[in-house]
Amino acid sequence: MTTPSRWSKGLRISAAALLLTIVALTAFVNIQQRMLRWRAERLLADIRAIQMGSSNWKDAERLMNRWGRWGKWEGPCSRQSCNYQIVLQDISRQHGTVYVTAEEIHPRTDARRCCQWFRKPYMAMGGRFAEVYASIVVKDGVIWTKSFGVVTGLYPNHPIQYVVEGNVLVATADGTTRFVGPSRERFAGNYEYAIDALGTCSGCRYIQSRLTPFADASIVQQLFDFNLDCLSRWRECEEPGDIMPSAWRLFTQRKADSSTNAEGAESCNTPLEFAARDSRYIGTAEVTHTRMTNEGRWSRQIVSLESVWSLKNSAFQRPWLSLGEWVPFAPEYHSNATEPLKRGDQLILLFDTKFNETDSVFRGPGPCGFFRFSKENVDAVKRGIKRDALSNSP
């Protein structure tokens, strides 16, 4: 018969073994988390050292040789063209056990939903569901863009502002040679960078910055200022400003200044050089027919167009394609008086959806995508195209 003392001894041994296991697991979790932060800090230093638009293929090779264990590339990789990516992950993410993320934020992260019961103990021991990624894009021997980002999990059901299912905090600094969409107008007059930290996504809170190779060096430094303590500290980072403090200060300062906040401003205010940089397709067209319509307070001129030639990314399959009718110079979009167009006049068209000759569909330029053909405007377009070094112009 087992005596009480033997039961007590067995319980003490079991308790000691359990305690030692918890201590060992906690130590292991913290060590691997600090190793992730240590690697991330060195990766960030390497990425910050790269100068977009001037670092060369040798710089890219040094980066790839150093981070080959964690790196990969998409398609062929040579000095002519290479998209190289580096991904660092915490141990739970590596083995695909407990990490849950918002795959909408970054295409390299996929949602995994296993062993959810381990989330709270893992975080209590100092674990953070985290991924750090970086990338460079090379064309013709020049590194044109670089990126760095951090995705880290918040405690399940953590109450953070603006997010209903807040469990992921995302911070990114992405290089680009052209902007897409309204974010380029976030701050009026700043056409080389943009910051977004007000939107939400499914299950996340984020701060995203984008910048071109022509951004001022001080701006680049601020946008690549990441607080990587968020990967290992006991008190988790909760707000965008915790993880990208300099970018957050820039964002809030600009947002507070109503004179530089261009939310809702017409894109017609964008200088042609930058509009050309940011447009996917650019071509010239000739007016073949015109007519006027009366619409209350003002008249509109409607013109029929035919393509002439492409300036960027093979905008038209061939010349003299019928592009349909458009309203290129409507008063509500252009405050300055514009001379009516006549047959034979040529325009520069900026647009993002390519003309489909088979379906005879040309979604074409918006009201701000029409410019008169002139040497001055063509020169501005060429300068803009040159800025978009990763395009396939013409």
∠ CA 47-53-59, nearest 5°, is 50
User: Rounded CA gap, 145 and 283, in Å?
Assistant: 26
| Structural domain boundaries in the chain | 29-256, 271-387
User: Rounded CA gap, 44 and 152, in Å?
Assistant: 16
What element of type H or E holds 349? Answer: strand 346-351
What element of type H or E holds 41? Answer: helix 4-49
> What pLDDT score does 363 carry?
75
For 64, 149, 172, 183, the CA distances from 203, given in Å and listed in that order, are: 33, 17, 17, 22
> What pLDDT score does 349 carry?
94
Please provide residue 326's backbone torsions phi and psi, each rounded to the nearest 5 degrees.
-145, 165
> What pLDDT score does 124 carry?
60
- What is the distance of C-alpha 290 from the center of its chain? 41
CATH architecture of structural domain 271-387? Beta Barrel (2.40)
> What pLDDT score does 203 carry?
63
Residue 296 corresponds to which amino acid?
Answer: G
> What pLDDT score does 92 carry?
62
Token pair recorded at residue 379: 């020169």
> What pLDDT score does 97 carry?
39
User: Rounded CA gap, 93 and 163, in Å?
Assistant: 23
Please list the rounded mean pLDDT of every run of 10 residues in the chain (394 residues). 67 70 65 84 97 97 95 91 92 48 39 51 66 95 97 59 56 94 56 81 79 96 95 81 94 70 55 92 95 78 91 90 82 59 94 75 79 95 96 76
CB within 8 Å of 78: residues ≥ 6 apart: none
